[in-house]
Each structure stands twice: as C-alpha cells, then as structure tokens.
Structure 1
Amino acid sequence: MTAPTSDGVPGPGGPALDDSVLRPKIAGLMPEVLAELEALVAIPSCAFPGFPPEPVHAAAQRIVDAFGRHGVEAHVTPVDGGYPAVTAEIPAPPGRPTVLLYAHYDVQPVPASQQWSTDPWTPTWVDGRLHGRGAADDKGGVAIHLATLAAFDGRPPVGVRLVVEGEEETISHLEAHVVAHPDDFQADVMVVADMGNLVVGEPVLSVGLRGHVKAVIEVETLAAPVHSGLFGGAAPDALMALIRALATLVDDDGACAVQGVASGEWDGADHAEELLRANAGVLDGVDLVGTGRVASRLWARPSVSVLGMDVTPTAEASNVLQPRAKAVVAMRIPPGQDAQEAMDALVAHLRAHVPGNARVTVTEDKKSPPFSQPTDGRAFGLMRDALATSYGRPVETVGSGGSIPLLETLRAVAPHADFVLVGPEDAQHANIHGPDESVDPSEIEHMALAQALLLQALAQD
C-alpha cells in the first residue's frame, strides 16, 4: 500500500548513489547495533516528573559507551534544570560541511492501563520486530545514528555533531541550552531521526509537522460532594459542567471548533483512508472524525483531544454531585500557526464555555511550535536520492501530525541549515506512545544506510 506524496510525483529526484561499500558494512554491523538497542530499551529512561532519575542517567551513559565502542568520543553534557544530553563533535575536514544528527533517549511512561503483551522494559522479539518502550521512539533513532557513524569507524567524511536529547517527551530544557550555547549547535545540515515511514519498506521524507499546545482546566461548583438525590437538579455538578465545556471543543463532525486557529488544505496527493484505518486500528464500522481529505485532516488542520481527566473511578462511584473536576486538553496546530496564539485561543475557548458561572481555572502547559521544511535544499535532495538507493524504491514526501519542539530552536540558531526528517517509527506497527511499541530492524538498517550515503554525498563537491 503506497504512501501519499505532497506533489503527486513519486521518484528519487536524482541518480542512485554508490552503496557498494556502505551497504555490506552496515549489514555486518546490525547484530552489534541491535544488541546495543536491546540494552538501551531495557533501561526505563522516563524523564517525566515523579519518575526515578537514575535510569535516565544510566541511559545517557550507556549511549556514551556505545558510541565509544564504535570510535566516537561522546560525552554526557549537563543541561541546566533538566536531564543531560549526549553529545559528540567530529570536526569537519577542510572545505566540507557539518551535519548535526539528532535523536532522543527519554521515553513515554507505561501506565498499567496500556496492558502490554510483553514486559515493556524487557526487549522482546516478536514476529521479527523488537518490542519494548522506546524501541522505536526514539532509541531506534539513536541506533540509526550509531550504525551510521560506525559505518565510517567513527571517522565520517564530513563534520558531525551528535545530539541525543534526554527530555523530548516532557518539558525540554535543551531548547534553552541551545539558545544559551548556539555555537555548539551550528551545522549546515540537521538530520532528525525521530520520524518514520507510513508503511515499512516504503521510504518517505517528512516536510511539515503540526505543533502542540496543552492546557489544564479545572472546574469547581461546590464546597464538598453532596447527595445527588437531595440536591441533584438544582445544585451544579462540576463534572457535568466540565463535560459540557469539553464537548464544545469539536463540531458535530468531530473537527476542532476552537476559533482563531489556522486551518488549511494539504495541497498534494491524499492519504488513503484504508491506510489510516489500518495503521490507527480504527474499529470496524466506526466513523473517522472531521470532513474532507484525510491528508488535510492529519497534516494541515488543527485537532483537539482530551488527554486525561481527574474524576471518580466507576468502581468508586457513589450517589453524589462532584464539587470539582479537572482535564488536560491538547490541540495539534498546523504549520504556520503561532503556538502562543493557539494557546491563547484554546485557553479563551475553555474559559468561555464553562456553563453556569462555575469557577474555572485554565493553566497553560506544554507548548510546541509547528515546523515546515523547504524541499529545495541540496541535502534534502541528496537524502531523497540516498533513501531511494537504500530502499530500492521511489521516495515520497508527507506531513506529520506529531511535533518536535526543538526544531524551531535549532532553526533559529542555524537559520541557513537544511533539515532532513526521517526515522524508524513506522506508522504501520510501531505504536509509539502506546502498548506493544516495536521497531522493525530493517527500518534501522535502511535509514542508517541512507544517512551514511548522505554523509558520503555531502563530502563530494
């Protein structure tokens, strides 16, 4: 099943690159690289508040040691206020460019409600895929960079700056660190290995990411819980007020109804509905939300979700009206939308739609800007050729509904850099952030070969 393109024209965009040396070299490295990935997946490096810090630091050190075993002198670099990054710098030979390779080693939590089929912290092979939290997002990206540099025995033909973040999944302190140390992040090309193909074996380049804003809303109506029989029908229930407010976030079709947020159309080929249904696991007979082209809904329009609520569990339900209720609301915003303006619009909407003059508090949470990538840069074109060579098939361009907050910060400190967005997180089976996350090792191998071919091509004038 073929992925969509932004221009409707599949093709590598140029000649095949010489992979006669790098392809067998990377294939031979894969057992070692996958062993390193298994060891990294076994470390529960969740950087969210409330989780133990020791595994996060252990994961950073494990990455330093792994790159060291393959000829790259990496370091644990402190980041003020947060967890460290892993960095390395390989100076560029005279006249050759510098490439920054980015990934992250922190992972999403694993709540019991996800009901994994395997232990999320025990790397397990199932049907040829490595299962475990972070196997795809984004320790698989770390493995791609490891294989890429190991293919050159740690001595690539261009300059390389390695940056492996420790807080991408939570509130990142690396963004402020980049602003404070801009010289350490200068590069001609930024390769971000935190994306993925829509279908395993069918290469894509991502050219736009939606941003993300989150807010917490709390509604209060009563001093304490009161009997629903004695007071129901007159006394206001906070949970019902919150539900009524949340319901206004979408229209009758389920599309985002927050006013003042940009919305557009994806101007390329559409995203097949059957592909979305299969990849997202939409149950038979359940309608999709929104209207119009699927690609526009995913990549060019806002969407809104309720990520969690603090309410009484059903097992503890009693006949009372709730005095207070809280929810986390998230809105994905399309490229071109200012993140703070979107946050302001979301906060204003929530405050305006709580009924009955209930007390409402809305607090801003995480804010990540959208990102768009020009496709006319030299590195972008070379990576298209490199992916086509590696996979042996045409490369297509897509958008993405996800967000990577650091990208706009990197663009601000290195405005002339050409960005390339790839990665191991296929939408078909990887199930990032969900239960039974996994990675296909062939995606790591193909992406590593493509990256190595890119570095080789960039070294040629």
Structure 2
Amino acid sequence: MSSPAPTRPELLQALRDSVAGGFPVAVADLSRLVRIPSVSWAAFDPQHVSDSADAVAALVTGLGVFETVQVARAPIGSGADAPLGQPAVLATRAARNGRPTILLYAHHDVQPPGKDEDWDSSPFEPTVRGDRLYGRGAADDKAGVLAHVAAIRAFVETVGEDFDLGLALFIEGEEEFGSRSFTNFLTAHQAELAADVIVVADSDNWNITTPALTVGLRGNVTFRLTVTTLEHASHSGMFGGAVPDAMLATIRLLATLHGLDGSVAVEGLVSRDAETPDHTEEQLRREAALLPGVTPIGTGTILSRIWSKPAITVTGIDAPSVANASNTLAPSISVKISARIAPGQQGTEAFAALETHLRAHAPFGARIEIDDVDTGNGFLVDTSGWAVAEAKTSMTDAWGADAVEMGVGGSIPFIADLVELFPAAQILVTGVEDPDSRAHSPNESLHLGVFKRAILTEAVLLARLNERV
C-alpha cells in the first residue's frame, strides 16, 4: 500500500490555528458535561444520563452541519416488554460527490465515582491542576465526545459548511454498563450508521507526546458468582472447625483461578502470540502504582500479559463489613468476577470455560450459582486499509511524532458488533487518554495537551477525507 500524500501545509496550519482558537471553548464544554453525573449503572438515577444526552445533542445541533440530530433508545433484549437502554445521540449528514462517510463514536455515560474521600477534588466538579483536568468522565469518555465536536468545529471553520464528506455521529449512553442495547440500536439505525470509516474515540495513547492507534483489544466476561454452604448463619464458636462457611468456600474457590505466579489457571482460556514493544517493569510499577515490594504477576513480556493473555479480577464482594462483623458463619457470599480474554477468543467460549472450572472446583460440596452474565468479544484491527494510513498521517501532523500501534488490556466489545453489521467499514480505534489518566479510578484526569492534539488529529483526518475521491 502506497503512502498517502502529505497534508497541504496551508490546510494544516489553518486547522492548527482553528483548534488553538477554539480550545478554551472545548474545555469549557467538556467541563459542563463532566458536571452531569451520568452514571449508567442500574443503581444510579437514569435522569442524569438523559440530561447528559440532551446536553450532547445541544452541542451537536449547535454545530449547524448535520441534517438530522436525535436522541434515541433501543430495547435491551427482545419482546414487547423489553426495557429500553440508555439514551444515545445520533446525527447524520450524507456524503456528496463520491466522498467517503466517516462515523465518529464516543460515549457520554461514566463509571460510578466511588468514594468522594478517595478524590483530591469532587469527582463531578471539573478541576484543573497543572496540565490536567480532573473529574469522572473527563477522560473516559466525555473527552472523546468533545474531541469529535471540537474537531468538526475546526474542520467546518477551515473548509466551510459546504463540504462533501459524509458525517455520522454516534454518542452512546451505556458503554460503561455493558452496551446492552447496542446491537438492537445498530439494527434499528443501520442505514444512518453505515460508513466507510468508523472512528472509536475511547482508547489510549502511548504517552503524552506519542500518539497511538489501538490495533488489539481483549474481550470480556463478567458475572455474579454466589457460593452457598448453609441454610442460615450459625455461631462461629459453636460450629466453627466442623462446618464450612460460605466465606471459606469462596476464598478456596477463587484461589483456584490463578497459579502461584498469578497466571490464570482456567483450562480453556487461551493466550495469543504477538510481538510487543519494550515496556519495563519499572514503567509498569510507576503507571500501575505498585507498592514497594509488591511483584508483578504472570509470565512473558509485560505487554503480552496485558494485551494478549487472559486476566481474572474479583471486582466486588457482598459480605458482612468489618464494622458489622459478628461471630457467625456466613451462609452465602456473592462476588463480581471480571475476566479479560485474549483477542480471538469468543466471549461465550470463555464463559463456558470459567463456569466449568468453578463448578468443578467448588470446595466442600458448596452450591454454586452464576447470573448477571455479560460477554464480549475482543478485536484485532486490519491495519492494511487506506484509513489506517490516513489516520497515522493525521497523527504525525498533529503530534509531530509517528503513531505507535498498540494493544489495550481493556475491552470495547461492541466493536465486534460494528464489524459484523458493517463488514466493509474500516475501524480506527483512537483516544484521548494517556497512561496517567486513571480511567475508572479516583482522580481520573485528562492531559490538556493530549486533548488538543487529539482534536487536531481528527480535524486533519476529516479534512483529508473530504479531499479523498
């Protein structure tokens, strides 16, 4: 594949000037979105997600270039009584004169904030400290939303409103809760979402000065595991030592999921062989905040463990708190299990392996229940298409550094759905995060320099595609 022509210098400078001039507005718009606590999880007020969707729709409408802008929902599952998913924003503008259509994706919902005391500033009060903007969703993924909005602004300001590029914008409202209505939404809006190129702005960069194109994502399996050994709680002094309580059984069962070195020990979960860039243990320790004396787990290169091998994490546990602990044998314990699976393995296949393992290893005859199951497939990007070359050129123009092709340990399962429904579309996975963004964690933040360069990257890509015949 031949290299694409360089961006015209006068066009690149005009886009750079427009992005710089509009950057304070982009940060202000992002801050207003961050103030809306749009947590999409079932236990949180769904009105906030609706308010966030309306705010995004207003921003998109204000661009003045889309033929249609709507806030829409799709059902979760099938049947007349199927509940509706969270609201998404969908905007479209048809291509003209043989130009391609580009679909820009991000999500406006966010993770729960956790405990306020774990944050250095209020999670839903955007706060600038140094060169970073702190707040839940400031990076993941409301910055992705604003990167699209600000890039379109700069593109239109530079080339004018009478452009030929086809544009579609899809801002999802439940990515952090498993995208449960995603497939139905795609099916209902297939015509509006059809595109030659799909940009998913929900990933990472190599560091704050080097852009990255994500070419590999792990899949995921999540579920609730309940372990039960007793019909009711009993006195731990009277029966302890003879009666297995659920906590003991749960601890013993969870321990079978890993080997002594921390590697996953579940038969049927596979790894993928792939070369990885250099990444030292020292860098891992800094980025992951490993305490002194705590060792990494697993085998192989650091990045192969994160990008190409399975991982199993217990992300939550329902059990008596220390403050409320009594001298009783617990009859039942529930835990939330989150497994990441290597690109190339099907989520349903991985879940079957996990279920088989757990039922086979239940200690003391404990009863096992598994429910609230979600599965998602991983993804490998085909890097041979012209869109990847266009994206890399745009990144080099905006960052002044060549892009790194990287994998990501996290999951974006809906990309597999996009590929299935739009097999001819070329997928570009980009993002506004960096290794210090702490997405999903307290003190989540966005590096403002990365944000500006991400906006410029996309503005350059839009301008280049607008000239592509």
Instruction: Give the TM-score range, shorter chain.
Output: over 0.9
State the shift of 1:15 in Å.
Answer: 6.1
SS at match of 1:56: helix
Partner of 1:132: 135
State the shift of 1:16 in Å.
Answer: 4.5
Partner of 1:22: 15
1:72/1:88 contact within 8 Å kept: no
State the shift of 1:376 in Å.
Answer: 0.8
Partner of 1:327: 335
2:90/2:170 contact within 8 Å kept: yes
State the shift of 1:412 in Å.
Answer: 1.0
State the shift of 1:266 in Å.
Answer: 2.5
Residue 259 of structure 1 pairs with residue 264 of structure 2: no
Selected match of 1:188 from 189, 196, 213:
196
CA deviation digits over 1:116-155, x for unaligned, max 9?
1110111111112111100000000001001111013384
Residue 376 of structure 1 pairs with residue 384 of structure 2: yes
Selected match of 1:90 from 93, 106, 110:
93
Distance in 1 between residues matched to 2:386 and 2:3, nearest whole Å: 11
Q: Could you state the TM-score of these two structures normalised by the residue count of structure 1?
A: 0.94
Selected match of 2:233 from 217, 220, 225:
225
Distance in 2 between residues matched to 1:370 and 1:264, nearest whole Å: 11
CA deviation digits over 1:10-41, x for unaligned, max 9?
xx976642312111111111111111000000
Partner of 1:123: 126
Residue 52 of structure 1 pairs with residue 32 of structure 2: no
CA deviation digits over 1:38-87, x for unaligned, max 9?
00000000111021121111111111111222324432123231111111
Question: Residues 277 and 125 (structure 1 numbering): CA distance in 2 closer, same or farther, change over 3 Å?
Answer: same
After the TM superposition, which residues 334-349 of structure 1 pair with which residues of structure 2 at under 5 Å, given as runs?
A: 334-349=342-357
1:104/1:142 contact within 8 Å kept: yes
2:101/2:166 contact within 8 Å kept: yes
Partner of 1:296: 304
SS at match of 2:49: helix
1:424/1:447 contact within 8 Å kept: yes
Distance in 1 between residues matched to 2:282 and 2:402, nearest whole Å: 21
State the shift of 1:182 in Å.
Answer: 2.0
1:220/1:358 contact within 8 Å kept: yes
Q: Structure 2 unaligned segments of length 5 or more: list them.
A: 76-83
Distance in 2 between residues matched to 1:331 and 1:384, nearest whole Å: 31
Partner of 2:223: 215
**Over aligned residues, Cα RMSD in angstroms?**
1.6
Mean Cα deviation higher: 58-67 or 145-154: 145-154
State the shift of 1:183 in Å.
Answer: 1.7
What letter is aligned with 2:369? T
2:351/2:375 contact within 8 Å kept: yes
Mean Cα deviation higher: 153-162 or 443-452: 153-162
Q: Structure 1 unaligned segments of length 5 or more: list them.
A: 1-11
The one of the two structures with greater contact order (alpha-carbon pairs below 8 A, sep at least 6) is 1
Distance in 2 between residues matched to 1:184 and 1:96, nearest whole Å: 16
Distance in 1 between residues matched to 2:418 and 2:89, nearest whole Å: 16
Partner of 1:67: 60
What letter is aligned with 2:101? T
Distance in 2 between residues matched to 1:460 and 1:423, nearest whole Å: 23
Distance in 1 between residues matched to 2:93 and 2:253, nearest whole Å: 53
Distance in 2 between residues matched to 1:75 and 1:364, nearest whole Å: 31
Distance in 2 between residues matched to 1:265 and 1:274, nearest whole Å: 23
Selected match of 1:79 from 71, 74, 79:
74
1:215/1:365 contact within 8 Å kept: yes
